[in-house]
């Protein structure tokens, strides 16, 4: 198929849209859906529609609108405009009887009144709302005999012919490839890609280009960002503390689903009910994160039942809008005022989501159950290896135990002499449950393959500080009880090129009153020097090597039995790493009752708190030997004592236990390293659902069962089992459903063209706008259903993406474009959200003291330059660049972004660190590619032309070259005489300008590239 007739663009669609609006006023036949329903919905339905019927008048029903009213009048008398009370009231001059009432400020125009009159005279025929009718494939309009056209062209040409309009001429190839690249991947084409396309003279050049773009991994990223608006995906919970949540595995699943071309019916089913599929896979369960993307909280004073109610309402409203294009929120409190959705029907849908297993309070945790591990292929292999090795290790322990003939020491030799025991408090992790804090610097772990690595385990703590810096905790973990004659130790590595002035260990036993300092004891003035509150333990350890430092508990005033709530690793300035912190104490078997099994059990009998004893054994130990009579129970307690308490284990048992525990630690460490994500599951028992009076969680009304709205096709149980979310999901994507395919096809059209065929893509109900091209939308929806439907095949001729109006790029595309053209873009995919540059004090004003997102800590390296899809999204303070360019806050679903045009946007583009750095990198890129004298006019012209090709996929015009050259010369003169300003400009950002390029020259070109990055043509899909 050739390109003729398929690349027509702005006027082709734009003029048809204009023509469709004009047609309503001049058409000879009046249609209810097109002409009448919008008038009644806008002016009348609020009081006389599905939700409310004042004076017993309902105008959305032919039977009710034409029925005799209590007054004896008829609102509508078909064929008799003069006898219809509706028109009499609309035309009335008396403010007491005119409709709509004056206080509504919604008077009908003269055109609207005339259309209503003509409709009634013609018989007042009603039609079912266009979006609620079954999808029927329309016949294709007659093709243009002069050229080969795909079906979409034929629909568009038919509308053009109807309005007497002519399509715009075919766009240039440079425009096509840039437009298509942004539409499909969200990124600009490279110069090499433009050249390849321009040099391909075959009939399949455009098809080949589209095929390449559709198979790019960036296609899934671009498609995903639109869906994530609908799914309300973010990286924080959203309310109160707005703490971080770990859900990026769901985001990455969405990207992969699009790249894998997952059929839309499966795309929908997996997100709504992937956990209910037979033998559900990890990806299918991960997909249910769609239902967990809602805002949650643990704010004090909240009520758990109310939160569960709000979460279920959110999931219901999101499902209604995401898949059916309906607004359902008002039906939480009352029948929908415009659409035929009753309050009872809303709560019947709500019942599908009312048995969620997630708690009302999220606990401010990064992972709130239910969660699912999502291992990589390598991690799966490592886990399998570890699990395969465990039986042999467990068997070795059992064999060693079987060789022991233990008897209490009373019938054996005297106990062994005292010996030193060591316990580790920090190695790779703080104690379990510890609420770790680090102030503005946060907590940073260094893995073993970086620089000096670690002393033991797999990672160490690292901090670079100016002034006092520390990592600490004082709550959350089990207290550490000080042992007799205990010595506290830590391992420290000091950077020889950036040593601290001093380092300090601090311990909290109810207050921070126990400190040991190495180095200058006066730099950190906490406590009184020479006392337990600031004990000088010695000079700084030797830099450049791991050193063990230690201090006795006596020197710190910590008596045996003292319980520590936490400890702090503190430094004054410098670069310090900490590892393997713990205590070493004297264990005396001669006085320790735990050296006797009988004595140990007796000592623990009746105790309520049994630390260190597994939960299943605690009741047996607590009951004591006299009440534990079953041999197998006694053997369980004895085995625990032999393996976990007894200090005189034979070497073979000690070695076997050490091997098993090392294996268990390795398994635990690997399991902890595996990414986890939120998933959705139901409680074992279905929660009862009710109509909540006026939307109040604590005022249940009549009970409801799971069902769907009556105005849509019925959902019947497949068997004896009650309906569930899987039934609902399959019903949504069935061919009988009138909304889902229409909504999905329209949303894609909106994505590619800026405006949907139905402009109100978030509302397909009675208040929404009718489609500009009804037959085209019906044909697309039918295609969507019939092709089963892979999401890349909505345009079977692969030409749909070739057309669309001119509109500004979205926020993410603007930033990604700047990174791509500058050469800074890092294309690595997936993983934890990044924290690139942003202005100061964005998070802090909305942050709470205990929130882990109170302070914004900028990332470094590659994380600064990845695609915006991967930027960390904090709901109460979204990325300011994205918000400034109309990105939603993701607190609720968003089916359509607005596009504003504000001075602040221009200000940001000219001054934002990311954009200044990108402009400088682009300038350096062009200068580095130029082999000529940078001050030669011809070289300047070549560089300017290169910039236009990189940014706009076309050559610069002579006028553009002249204007740009004049600006370049003025800036060159400026920076040649102001070295400080030049250095300041090129110093923006973490990346550095090439040392072989003159600073003044780079600065001058940076302002030129910044100007070109701000061109309207650069910021728009033309």
Residue finishing a domain among 570, 587, 604: 587
Report the DSSP pairing between strands 371-373 and 676-678: antiparallel
Total structural domains within the chain: 3
Write the pLDDT tens digit of every residue in 931-973. Answer: 544 557 789 999 999 999 999 999 999 999 999 999 999 999 9
Closest among 205, 218, 216, 149 to 177, alpha carbons compared: 205
User: Confidence class of residue 32 from pLDDT cuts 50, 70 and 90?
Assistant: confident
Measured CA to CA, the distance from residue 450 to residue 661 in angstroms comes to 27
Write the pLDDT tens digit of every residue in 767-810. Answer: 899 998 899 999 999 998 886 555 555 443 333 333 446 889 99
The whole-number pLDDT of residue 598 equals 86
Tokens of 918: 């990108």
Q: What is the mean pLDDT of residues 573-602?
A: 79
**Backbone φ, ψ for residue 205 (5° rounding):** -60, -45
Of the chain, the end-to-end C-alpha distance in Å amounts to: 24
Element (DSSP H or E) covering residue 172:
none
The whole-number pLDDT of residue 792 equals 55
User: Confidence class of residue 312 from pLDDT cuts 50, 70 and 90?
Assistant: very high
The whole-number pLDDT of residue 484 equals 84
Q: Give the DSSP letter of residue 32.
A: I
The whole-number pLDDT of residue 935 equals 59
Q: What is the mean pLDDT of residues 548-573?
A: 92
Q: How many helices (H) and strands (E) does the chain have?
A: 33, 18
The whole-number pLDDT of residue 21 equals 32
Measured CA to CA, the distance from residue 999 to residue 924 in angstroms comes to 10
The whole-number pLDDT of residue 595 equals 65
Q: Give the DSSP letter of residue 544.
A: T
Is there a contact between 543 and 499 (Cβ–Cβ < 8 Å)? yes
Is 928 inside any structural domain? Answer: yes
Closest among 891, 741, 894, 937 to 265, alpha carbons compared: 741
Burial category of 460 from C-beta neighbours within 10 Å (exposed 0-12, middle 13-18, buried 19 and up): buried
Measured CA to CA, the distance from residue 228 to residue 207 in angstroms comes to 28
Measured CA to CA, the distance from residue 854 to residue 349 in angstroms comes to 37
119: left (phi over 0), alpha (psi -120 to 50) or beta: alpha
Residue finishing a domain among 126, 159, 178: 126
387 pLDDT higher than 70: yes
The whole-number pLDDT of residue 356 equals 97
Q: What is the mean pLDDT of residues 390-418?
A: 79
- Other CB atoms within 10 Å distance of the CB of residue 511: 10
Measured between alpha carbons, how far is residue 140 from residues 133, 798, 830 in Å?
Answer: 20, 18, 43
The whole-number pLDDT of residue 709 equals 97
Q: What is the mean pLDDT of residues 548-574?
A: 92
DSSP-derived secondary structure for 637-693: HHHHHHHHT-S---HHHHHHHHHHHHHHHHHHHHHHHS-EEE---B-SSPPPEEEEG
406-415, 499-508, 822-831: least confident range: 406-415
Is 472 inside any structural domain? Answer: yes
Question: Which range in 126-130, 312-316, 527-531 is most confidently predicted, on average pLDDT?
Answer: 312-316
CB contact set of 733 (below 8 Å; sequence gap of 6+): 264, 265, 268, 269, 740
Q: What are the E-state strand segments in 297-456?
A: 371-373, 419-426, 436-437, 445-447
17 pLDDT higher than 80: no
Is 49 inside any structural domain? Answer: yes
Q: What is the mean pLDDT of residues 71-88?
A: 88
- Report pTM: 0.79
Handedness of CA 829, 830, 834, 838 (dihedral sign): positive
Write the pLDDT tens digit of every residue in 233-266. Answer: 999 999 889 999 999 999 999 999 999 999 999 9
CB contact set of 167 (below 8 Å; sequence gap of 6+): 5, 8, 11, 12, 156, 157, 160
Name the residue range of residue 114's domain: 32-126
Q: What are the E-state strand segments in 331-479?
A: 371-373, 419-426, 436-437, 445-447, 459-473
The whole-number pLDDT of residue 419 equals 67
Measured between alpha carbons, how far is residue 686 from residues 112, 336, 355, 682, 706 in Å?
Answer: 50, 27, 6, 8, 11
The whole-number pLDDT of residue 381 equals 97
645-649, 801-805, 914-918: least confident range: 801-805
User: Confidence class of residue 440 from pLDDT cuts 50, 70 and 90?
Assistant: very low
Write the pLDDT tens digit of every residue in 155-172. Answer: 888 877 777 777 777 789
The whole-number pLDDT of residue 8 equals 32
Identify the three-state secondary structure at position 577. Answer: strand
**Backbone φ, ψ for residue 244 (5° rounding):** -70, 145
Is 8 inside any structural domain? Answer: no
840 pLDDT higher than 90: yes
Question: How far does Cα 893 stand from its chain's mean position?
Answer: 12
Q: CATH number of the domain at 428, please.
A: 2.60.120.260
User: Confidence class of residue 680 from pLDDT cuts 50, 70 and 90?
Assistant: very high
21-30, 97-106, 743-752: least confident range: 21-30
Is 952 inside any structural domain? Answer: yes
| 68 vs 18: which has the higher pLDDT | 68
Q: What is the mean pLDDT of residues 460-485?
A: 87
- Other CB atoms within 10 Å distance of the CB of residue 1013: 23
Is there a contact between 677 and 250 (Cβ–Cβ < 8 Å)? yes
Percent of the chain with pLDDT over 90: 63
Residue finishing a domain among 540, 570, 587: 587
Is 592 inside any structural domain? Answer: no
425 pLDDT higher than 50: yes
What is the longest distance spanned by two Cα atoms in the chain? 117
Tokens of 345: 């029907």
Residue whose structure tokens are 């239910």:
370
Is 766 inside any structural domain? Answer: no
Is 98 inside any structural domain? Answer: yes
710 pLDDT higher than 70: yes
Closest among 591, 508, 583, 527 to 553, alpha carbons compared: 583
**Backbone φ, ψ for residue 967 (5° rounding):** -65, -40
What is the average pLDDT value for the chain, to the nearest integer? Answer: 88
Measured between alpha carbons, how far is residue 12 from residues 155, 699, 802, 805, 888 in Å?
Answer: 11, 55, 12, 9, 30
């Amino acid at each position: 198929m050739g390109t003729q007739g398929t690349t027509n663009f702005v006027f082709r669609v734009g003029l048809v849209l204009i023509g469709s609006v004009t047609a309503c006023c001049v058409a000879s036949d009046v249609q209810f859906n097109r002409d009448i329903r919008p008038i009644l919905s806008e002016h009348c339905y609020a009081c006389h529609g599905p939700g409310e019927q004042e004076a017993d008048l309902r105008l959305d029903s032919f039977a009710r609108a034409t029925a005799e009213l209590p007054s004896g009048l008829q609102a509508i008398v078909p064929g008799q405009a003069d006898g219809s009370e509706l028109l009499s009231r609309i035309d009335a001059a008396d403010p007491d009887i005119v409709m709509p009432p004056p206080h509504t400020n919604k008077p009908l125009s003269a055109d609207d009144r005339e259309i209503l009159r003509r409709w009634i005279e013609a018989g007042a025929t009603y039609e079912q709302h266009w979006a609620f009718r079954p999808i029927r494939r329309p016949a294709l309009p007659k093709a243009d005999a002069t050229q080969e056209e795909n079906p979409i062209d034929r629909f568009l040409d038919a509308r053009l012919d109807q309005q007497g309009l002519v399509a715009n001429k075919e766009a240039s190839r440079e425009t096509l490839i840039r437009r298509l690249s942004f539409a499909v991947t969200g990124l600009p084409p490279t110069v090499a890609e433009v050249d390849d396309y321009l040099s391909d003279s075959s009939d399949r050049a455009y098809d080949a280009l589209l095929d390449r773009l559709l198979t790019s991994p960036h296609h899934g990223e671009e498609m995903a960002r639109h869906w994530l608006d609908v799914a309300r995906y973010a990286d924080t919970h959203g309310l109160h503390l707005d703490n971080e949540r770990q859900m990026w595995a769901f985001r990455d699943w969405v990207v992969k689903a699009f790249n894998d071309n997952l059929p839309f019916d499966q795309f929908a089913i997996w997100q709504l009910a992937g956990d209910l599929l037979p033998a559900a896979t990890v990806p299918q369960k991960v997909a249910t994160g769609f239902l967990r993307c809602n805002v949650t909280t643990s704010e004090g004073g909240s009520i758990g039942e109310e939160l569960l109610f709000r979460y279920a309402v959110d999931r219901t409203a999101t499902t209604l809008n995401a898949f059916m294009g309906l607004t359902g929120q008002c039906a939480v409190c009352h029948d929908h005022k415009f659409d035929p959705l009753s309050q009872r029907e809303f709560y019947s849908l709500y019942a599908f989501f009312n048995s969620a297993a997630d708690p009302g309070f999220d606990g401010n945790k990064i992972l709130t159950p239910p969660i699912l591990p999502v291992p990589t292929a390598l991690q799966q292999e490592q886990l399998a290896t570890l699990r395969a090795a465990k039986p042999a290790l467990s068997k070795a322990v059992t064999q060693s135990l079987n060789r022991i003939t233990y008897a209490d020491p009373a019938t054996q030799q005297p106990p062994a002499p005292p010996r030193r025991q060591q316990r580790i408090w920090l190695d790779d992790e703080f104690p379990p449950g510890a609420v770790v804090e680090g102030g503005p610097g946060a907590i940073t772990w260094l893995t073993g393959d970086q620089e000096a690595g670690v002393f033991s385990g797999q990672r160490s703590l690292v901090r670079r500080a100016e002034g006092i810096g520390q990592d600490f905790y004082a709550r959350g973990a089990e207290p550490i009880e000080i042992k007799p004659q205990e010595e506290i130790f830590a391992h420290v590595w000091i950077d020889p090129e950036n040593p601290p002035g001093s380092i300090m260990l601090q311990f909290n036993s109810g207050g921070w009153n126990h400190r040991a300092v190495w180095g200058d004891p006066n730099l950190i003035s906490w406590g009184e020097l020479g006392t337990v509150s600031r004990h000088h333990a010695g000079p700084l350890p030797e830099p450049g090597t791991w050193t063990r430092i230690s201090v006795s508990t006596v020197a710190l005033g910590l008596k045996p039995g003292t319980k520590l709530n936490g400890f702090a690793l503190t430094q004054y300035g410098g670069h310090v790493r900490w590892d393997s912190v713990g205590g070493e104490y004297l264990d005396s078997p001669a006085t320790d009752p735990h050296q006797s099994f009988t004595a140990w059990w007796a000592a623990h009998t009746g105790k309520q708190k049994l630390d260190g004893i597994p939960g299943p054994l605690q009741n047996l130990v607590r009951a004591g030997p006299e009440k534990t009579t079953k041999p197998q129970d006694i053997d369980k307690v004895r085995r625990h004592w032999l393996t976990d308490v007894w200090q005189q284990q034979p070497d073979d048992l000690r070695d076997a236990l050490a091997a098993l525990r090392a294996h268990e630690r390795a398994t635990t460490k690997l399991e902890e390293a595996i990414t986890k994500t939120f998933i959705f599951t139901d409680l074992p028992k279905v929660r009862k659902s009710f109509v909540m009076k006026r939307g109040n969680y604590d005022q249940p009304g009549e009970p409801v069962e799971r069902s769907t709205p009556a105005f849509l096709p019925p959902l019947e149980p497949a068997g004896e089992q009650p309906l569930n979310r899987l039934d609902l999901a399959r019903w949504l994507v069935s061919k009988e459903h009138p909304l889902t395919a229409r909504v999905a096809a329209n949303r894609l059209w909106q994505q590619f063209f800026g405006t949907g065929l139905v402009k109100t893509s978030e509302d397909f109900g009675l208040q929404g706008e009718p489609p500009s091209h009804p037959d085209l939308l019906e044909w697309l929806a039918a295609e969507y259903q019939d092709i089963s439907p892979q999401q890349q095949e909505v345009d079977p001729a692969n030409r749909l993406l070739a057309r669309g109006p001119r509109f500004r790029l979205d926020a993410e595309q603007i930033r990604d474009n700047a990174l791509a053209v500058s050469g800074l873009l890092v294309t690595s995919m997936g993983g934890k959200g990044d924290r690139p540059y942003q202005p100061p004090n964005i998070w802090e004003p909305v942050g709470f003291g205990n929130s882990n997102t109170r302070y914004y800590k900028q990332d470094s390296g590659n994380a600064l330059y990845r695609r915006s899809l991967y930027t960390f999204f904090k709901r109460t303070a979204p990325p300011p660049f994205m918000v400034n360019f109309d990105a939603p806050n993701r607190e609720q679903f968003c089916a359509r972004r607005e596009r504003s045009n504000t001075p602040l946007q221009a200000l940001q583009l000219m001054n934002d660190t990311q954009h200044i750095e990108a402009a400088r990198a682009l300038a350096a890129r062009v200068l580095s590619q130029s082999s000529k004298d940078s001050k030669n006019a011809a070289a300047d012209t070549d560089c300017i032309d290169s910039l236009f090709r990189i940014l706009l996929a076309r050559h610069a015009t002579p006028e553009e070259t002249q204007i740009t050259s004049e600006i370049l010369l003025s800036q060159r003169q400026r920076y040649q005489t102001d070295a400080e300003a030049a250095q300041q400009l090129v110093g923006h950002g973490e990346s550095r300008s090439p040392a072989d390029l003159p600073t003044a020259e780079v600065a001058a070109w940076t302002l030129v590239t910044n100007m070109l990055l701000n061109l309207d043509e650069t910021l728009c899909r033309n």
